[in-house]
Every structure is written in structure tokens, then in C-alpha cells.
């Protein structure tokens, strides 16, 4: 698999180079920078004469056969100095750029990904750096630490690091909310792996562009420092030559022209290269955008949660009195889930049903440890197989409680399959990686297992789908892939958040059939989030009905569907049945004669709060 990935990456790099070369500006920039790099590396052999050889007899000679670009005020050959000078100039620019990258990129990644205090501290430091006047700081550094091109360039690198920080930070912020990043987290990958595999890959292209531009800027600044006499003056640099040229501007104006041309052309080549790389990357066929869906605000809450009741014994999953809230600007709490109590046993399917905004997804996210950072657990407890995942005042943010179980024992199937697959990697890679990590199997075994699972979920050509990128498969196929991924580590509990909502009606039934088949075959417990009572009747053993963040009714599916106790359940059912006779329709759906249930609904769990 690694070989395949390397091959994919090589192919991608090769085609990027081709696209760059096809762009006239990119080709020109590559040729110019190629010449400068060759001059920098092989300068001492390419220079026609010794660049430091003083010959006062021949000072300020015009262009001639022996000195193609003339001589300077000490009689040194200008062409040789120009060629050899490219070395220090380029290394100095590279030093400044590397320092900017080394400081800016990791801090941008950490601040953007983890947020919180790290984010505030990193932003504060970068704002301070941005507010410093660069030239004054460089003058001060030179005055206090001595004239050294390397020290000046390292200081310049620090001053330029906010450019790298901002770019990385913004890019990370834009992808950290993507569902495929959540999906990677759910599949058990560590933060470091997610940052390396899913986030760095998005940031690297803009970073290459920015690095090219910073290189150009560093060359310009280095020339200015040499011109101001702040370089060490030990070896020829373009800036030093520029300074000498201006000193003799009235005696030989061409002395200033040559280094000025070299600097301008090289800086322009770096900027052109940056633009060409951007154009080449934009040329690439893009996978569809995977912005996280913004959910509509509907419910509005009461007060913080009650003291949780102890969880019922022996359930695989018990949720008692769970409360979730979000801070409002006026410092009050918007309660989006309140006093939610439910349980799921091994091999049981629980439907969590309710209209849009009723709190189903928030509840599911709390079970998975995927609530946004700003969310607060305002009360309650979640216990999975005797391990407490959520307790009153627990911090869900770092997800420590879910370590070792998320992705392996608790799996997740999302609503929007496409958004949960990273467009940068093949489907095979995204299936194999979590298995290697969680099941600790070799890549070869993981690949064999992935192909088996793709076949099990009904993918017609598993080998082809394994090598495909997400945008090359249909939505139904992508959902089958995610289901294969979710069950690949043999979870005890599967949380499926409206797994068919984003799919074409023609494939919805197939995907539900697949889910039923997998659940029965593996005897998995399932929490199925849905707004569709048809799906509940079809798949679930028990159902919990949510309204405005609370469970208004729960119980055996047959009981609830035949004689809903809560007015809200009746209204929801009424909407599903579209004017048909409820009891007749439901008895058809669940295949039995209706029975009359006492009005008291099975909300006993909620009563404990």
C-alpha cells in the first residue's frame, strides 16, 4: 500500500511538474531559478576568473573580452563575483525561509487544530511579531549581535514566520471541521496522524507557494541589508555588489545595474514560480467541497442538567440524564439536549427519532466524543461497557475517555458519505490505515480484509473501488465504503446518523438492507439516528422520540408505533402517514394487528433525572 501511495504521489508530483512546465511563466521561472541554482552550486568552477582577485591597475574597466561585464573599483571581475555571489544570496534566502517555515508551520498547525489557550498564545505572539518594523529590528540585531548575514537572515526568518503561521492556521481551521477529519478521529487515528495525513496535505500546496514568495522577499531584504552595510562583507553577495555599484554610480553606472538585474530577475522568478504553482494546482480536477453542514438553530433551552441517576446495570451503553449546552454571548447557556436517558443492549437496534433540530445528532456526537469544543456537558453520564465516557463536568474536548474504543469498539456511520472521505486519498488507503492502527495488522492483511469488506457491503468491483478516489464513486457507493470502514474493526456499537438521508431514494432501501444484514450477522448494537418512522419500523427494536432536546417517549417499537403515548409522537407519525389510517398503516408496516397500549408511555428512564 505504501508503494502504491508513493506511486500515486510520484505520479501527482510528475504531473504537477508537467503542468508547471506547460505554463510559460512557470517554465521561464524554472529556467531562471535553474540557472541561479547551478551558478550557486558550481559557481567556483563556472566563474571565468577569481572573484576576489584585486587588480587596481584594471579598476572600473568597461565590458571587454577578458572581463565580459567589466571590473569593479578594486579591479575584480564583475561576472565572476555575480556568479559566486549567487551562492551566499541563495543560502541566506533559504535560511530565512526555512526559519519562517520551522516556526510558522508547526505553530499554525497546533494553534489551528487544538485551539484554546494555544491558539490565543500563538496568535498573540504572531500579532506582536507582525507589528514590529522589520528593518529597525534587523538594524538592532546587527548592532547588538554583530554584522553577520546568517544572524540577520535568521532574524528575518523569525519576522517572516507570521506569514507562514497565518497561512497554516487559516488552512487548518478550514479543514479541521470537515467531516472526514471527524471520521478519521472516530476511526481511532491519533491527533498527530490526523494532522500529518489529513491536514498537512491540504496546507502543503499554499505553503510551497508562500515559501517561493518569501524566498524572493528574503533575497530583496538581504540585498538591502548589504546595501546598508549590515552584511559581513566577507564574501561577494549581490547586495554587496549593489552597494559598491551605488558608491561608484557616477564613474561606472553599469556596476549597479548587473546586481540589480540579478536580484530583480531572481525575485521575479520566485514570485512567478509561486503563481505558476498555484495555477498548476488549480488546474487539478478538484473533488467536491466537503464543508461541514451548518445546522439550523431551532430548540432553545432551559437550565443546566440535573444530578444524573446511576446507569442501569449490564447495558452495553447507558445514557442517564445527559445535558449538552452552548454558551451564548450574554453568558447564559443554550440547552440543546436535556435529561436524555436511554440504553442499548448488545445486538439491539435503538432508533433515535425526532424532527430536525431536536438534538439527535448532538446526542450521537456526545456518545462518540465528537461534540465541538464550545459545547458543554451540562449534566449526565454516559457509560459504555462499564467504562464512563461522560460524567458531570467532564471535559469532552480531548476525547481521552474514547481512546482505544472509538473506531474499534464504537464505530460511526455519518449522514453525508462524501464529506467523510478525504478527497486526497484513495478509498483503499482510508480503509487500510485505521485497520493497521486499531487492529495492529500488517498492511497486506488490512488490504485483504478491506477487499473482503468491500465485497461484503456489496461493492461490485472491490479492487477497482479500493484504488479509486472518493470523487470517482457514487454517493451510495461511498456510503457502502464508510459502512465497510465502520464495521472493519468489529465494533460492539455502531452509531449511524441518518445514514440514508443524503442518498438517492433508489439506493436508500439497499443501504438499509445492508445495515440490517450486517447488524444481524455481527450481532452489533446500533443507535440509528433518523427522522423517518418507516426506517424505525423497519430496522429498530426500540425507539426513543426526541423533541426540543428531550426524550418525550421511548419503548419497544411495536408499542410506540401502535399506541404512541406522547402527543408529539402522534403528530410525527401523523406526518409520516399522510392522512392514512394510522393503526392500519402501522400494522401493515410492522406486520401485526394493532394492540391498545395504556397512555402511560415508557419514559421511565427520563423520570430518573
Q: Does residue 210 belong to the site contacting ligand ATP (CB under 6 A)?
A: no
Give the one residue of 326, 345, 347, 583 binding ligand ATP; rule: CB under 6 A: 326
99 to each of 157, 273, 524, how far by Cα in Å?
5, 21, 52
357 binds ligand ATP, rule: CB under 6 A: yes
Provide the 3-class DSSP secondary structure of residue 575: helix
Helix axes 505-522, 475-487, angle to 10 degrees: 10
Shortest approach of ligand ATP to residue 498 CB, angstroms? 6
Residue 209 φ/ψ, nearest 5 degrees: -65, -45
Measured from the CB of residue 452, what is the shortest distance to ligand ATP in angstroms? 33
3-state secondary structure labels for all residues of 279-346: HHHHHCCCCCCCCCCCCCCCCCCCCCCCCCCCCCCCCCEEEEEEEEEEECCCCCEEEEEEEEEEEECC
Q: Which three cell numbers stand for residue 489?
A: 474493526
Stretch that binds ligand ATP, among 98-106, 248-256, 291-299, 466-474 (CB under 6 A): 291-299
The residue written with cell numbers 464505530 in the block is: 411
CA dihedral sign of residues 142, 147, 149, 150: negative
Q: How many CB atoms lie within 10 A of CB 334?
A: 16
Is 356 a binding residue for ligand ATP by CB under 6 A? The answer is yes
Q: How far is CA 537 from CA 146, 414, 556, 585, in A?
A: 80, 21, 10, 11
The answer to whether 426 contacts ligand ATP (rule: CB under 6 A) is no
Nearer to ligand ATP, 198 or 360 (CB): 360
Is the CB of 360 or the CB of 433 nearer to ligand ATP?
360
**Least Cβ distance, residue 361 to ligand ATP (angstroms):** 3
Q: How many Å apart are CA 402 and CA 380, to the nearest integer? A: 17
Q: What does the chain come to in residues?
A: 609
Binding window for ligand ATP (CB under 6 A); candidates: 157-165, 247-255, 269-277, 356-364: 356-364
Q: CB–CB of 108/167 below 8 Å?
A: yes
Q: Considering the complex, state which of residue 246 and residue 326 has its C-beta at the smaller distance from ligand ATP.
A: 326
Q: Which residue is nearest to ligand ATP (CB)?
A: 361
Q: Please tell me whether residue 372 binds ligand ATP under the rule CB under 6 A.
A: yes
Q: Which of 19, 185, 360, 433 binds ligand ATP (CB under 6 A)?
A: 360
DSSP codes joined into one string, 183-243? HHHHTT--HHHHIIIIIHHHHHHHHHHHHHHHHHHHHHHHHHHHHTT-S--SS--HHHHHH
Identify which range of 138-146, 339-347, 360-368, 402-410 contacts ligand ATP by CB under 6 A.
360-368
Residue 149 CB contacts under 8 Å (≥ 6 apart), including other chains: 88, 92, 222, 225, 226, 231, 232, 237
CB-CB contact of 166 with 105 (8 Å): no
Binding mask 155-184 for ligand ATP (x = CB under 6 A): ------------------------------
Distances (CA, A) of 220 to 225, 232, 372, 413: 9, 17, 44, 53
Q: How many chain residues are in contact with ligand ATP, going by CB under 6 A?
A: 17
Euclidean distance between CA atoms 270 and 274, whole angstroms: 6
Choices 265-273, 294-302, 475-483, 580-588 (CB under 6 A): range interacting with ligand ATP: 294-302
> Does 299 contact ligand ATP by CB under 6 A?
yes
Of 231, 239, 173, which Cα lies nearest the Cα of 202? 173
Q: Which is nearer to ligand ATP, 358 or 465 (CB)?
A: 358
CB of residue 299 vs ligand ATP: minimum separation in angstroms? 4
Q: Which of 354, 414, 485, 564 binds ligand ATP (CB under 6 A)?
A: 354
Sole binder of ligand ATP in the list 239, 359, 414, 470 (CB under 6 A): 359
Task: Give the span between the Cα atoms of 586 and 28, in whole angstroms.
Answer: 72
Among 291, 298, 522, 580, binds ligand ATP (CB under 6 A): 298
CB of 220 to ligand ATP, least distance (A): 45
User: Which CB sits closer to ligand ATP, 416 or 456?
Assistant: 416
Q: Return the number of the residue (292 or 346) whose C-beta is nearest ligand ATP.
A: 292
Site string for ligand ATP, 511-550 (x = CB under 6 A): --------------------x-------------------
Q: Is 381 in the site for ligand ATP (CB under 6 A)?
A: no
Q: Which is nearer to ligand ATP, 233 or 327 (CB)?
A: 327
Q: Which residues bind ligand ATP (CB under 6 A)?
A: 295, 297-299, 326, 334, 336, 354, 356-362, 372, 531
Amino acid at each position: 500500500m505504501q508503494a502504491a501511495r508513493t506511486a500515486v504521489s510520484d505520479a501527482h508530483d510528475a504531473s504537477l511538474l508537467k503542468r508547471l512546465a506547460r505554463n510559460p511563466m512557470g517554465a521561464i521561472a524554472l529556467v531562471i531559478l535553474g540557472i541561479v541554482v547551478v551558478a550557486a552550486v558550481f559557481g567556483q568552477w563556472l566563474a571565468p576568473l577569481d572573484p576576489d582577485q584585486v587588480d587596481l591597475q584594471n579598476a572600473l574597466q568597461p565590458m571587454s573580452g577578458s572581463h565580459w561585464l567589466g571590473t569593479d573599483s578594486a579591479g575584480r571581475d564583475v561576472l565572476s563575483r555575480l556568479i559566486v555571489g549567487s551562492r551566499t544570496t541563495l543560502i541566506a534566502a533559504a535560511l530565512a525561509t526555512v526559519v519562517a517555515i520551522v516556526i510558522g508551520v508547526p505553530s499554525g498547525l497546533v494553534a489551528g487544530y487544538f485551539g484554546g489557550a494555544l491558539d490565543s498564545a500563538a496568535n498573540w505572539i504572531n500579532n506582536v511579531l507582525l507589528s514590529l518594523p522589520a528593518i529597525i529590528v534587523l538594524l538592532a540585531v546587527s548592532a547588538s549581535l554583530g554584522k553577520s548575514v546568517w544572524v540577520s537572515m535568521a532574524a528575518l526568518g523569525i519576522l517572516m514566520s507570521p506569514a507562514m503561521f497565518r497561512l497554516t492556521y487559516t488552512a487548518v481551521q478550514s479543514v479541521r471541521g470537515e467531516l472526514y477529519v471527524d471520521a478519521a478521529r472516530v476511526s481511532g487515528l491519533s491527533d498527530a496522524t490526523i494532522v500529518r495525513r489529513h491536514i498537512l496535505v491540504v496546507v502543503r500546496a499554499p505553503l510551497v507557494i508562500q515559501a517561493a514568495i518569501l524566498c524572493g522577499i528574503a533575497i530583496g531584504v538581504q540585498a538591502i541589508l548589504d546595501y546598508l552595510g549590515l552584511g559581513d562583507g566577507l564574501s561577494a553577495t549581490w547586495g554587496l555588489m549593489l552597494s559598491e555599484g551605488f558608491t561608484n554610480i557616477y564613474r561606472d553606472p553599469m556596476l549597479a545595474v548587473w546586481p540589480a538585474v540579478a536580484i530583480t530577475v531572481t525575485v521575479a522568478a520566485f514570485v512567478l514560480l509561486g503563481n505558476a504553482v498555484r495555477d498548476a494546482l488549480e488546474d487539478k480536477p478538484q473533488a467536491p467541497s466537503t464543508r461541514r453542514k451548518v445546522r439550523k438553530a431551532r430548540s432553545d433551552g432551559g437550565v443546566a442538567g440535573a444530578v444524573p441517576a446511576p446507569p442501569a446495570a449490564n447495558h452495553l451503553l447507558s445514557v442517564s440524564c445527559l445535558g449538552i449546552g452552548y454558551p451564548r454571548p450574554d453568558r447564559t447557556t443554550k440547552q440543546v439536549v436535556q435529561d436524555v436517558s436511554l440504553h442499548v443492549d448488545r445486538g439491539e437496534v435503538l432508533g433515535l427519532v425526532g424532527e430536525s433540530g431536536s438534538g439527535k445528532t448532538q446526542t450521537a456526537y456526545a456518545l462518540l466524543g465528537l461534540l465541538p469544543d464550545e459545547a458543554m456537558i451540562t449534566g449526565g453520564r454516559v457509560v459504555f461497557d462499564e467504562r464512563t465516557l461522560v460524567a458531570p463536568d467532564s471535559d469532552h474536548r480531548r476525547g481521552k475517555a474514547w481512546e482505544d474504543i472509538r473506531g474499534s469498539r464504537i464505530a460511526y456511520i455519518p449522514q453525508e458519505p462524501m464529506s467523510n472521505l478525504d478527497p486526497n486519498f484513495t478509498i483503499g488507503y482510508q480503509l487500510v490505515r485505521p485497520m493497521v492502527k486499531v487492529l495492529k495488522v500488517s498492511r497486506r492483511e488490512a488490504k485483504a480484509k478491506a477487499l473482503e469488506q468491500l465485497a461484503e457491503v456489496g461493492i461490485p468491483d472491490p479492487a477497482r473501488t479500493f484504488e479509486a478516489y472518493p470523487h470517482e464513486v457514487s454517493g451510495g457507493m461511498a456510503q457502502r465504503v464508510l459502512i465497510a470502514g465502520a464495521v472493519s474493526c468489529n465494533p460492539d456499537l455502531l452509531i449511524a446518523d441518518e445514514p440514508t438521508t443524503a442518498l438517492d431514494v433508489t439506493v436508500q432501501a439497499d443501504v438499509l438492507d445492508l445495515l440490517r444484514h450486517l447488524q444481524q450477522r455481527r450481532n452489533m448494537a446500533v443507535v440509528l439516528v433518523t427522522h423517518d418512522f418507516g426506517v424505525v419500523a423497519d430496522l429498530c427494536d426500540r425507539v426513543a422520540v426526541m423533541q426540543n432536546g428531550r426524550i418525550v417517549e421511548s419503548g419497544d417499537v411495536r408499542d410506540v408505533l401502535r399506541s404512541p403515548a406522547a402527543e408529539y409522537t402522534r403528530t410525527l407519525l401523523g406526518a409520516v402517514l399522510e392522512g392514512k389510517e394510522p393503526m392500519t398503516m402501522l400494522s401493515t408496516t410492522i406486520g401485526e394487528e394493532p394492540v391498545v397500549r395504556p397512555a402511560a408511555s415508557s419514559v421511565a428512564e427520563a423520570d430518573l433525572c
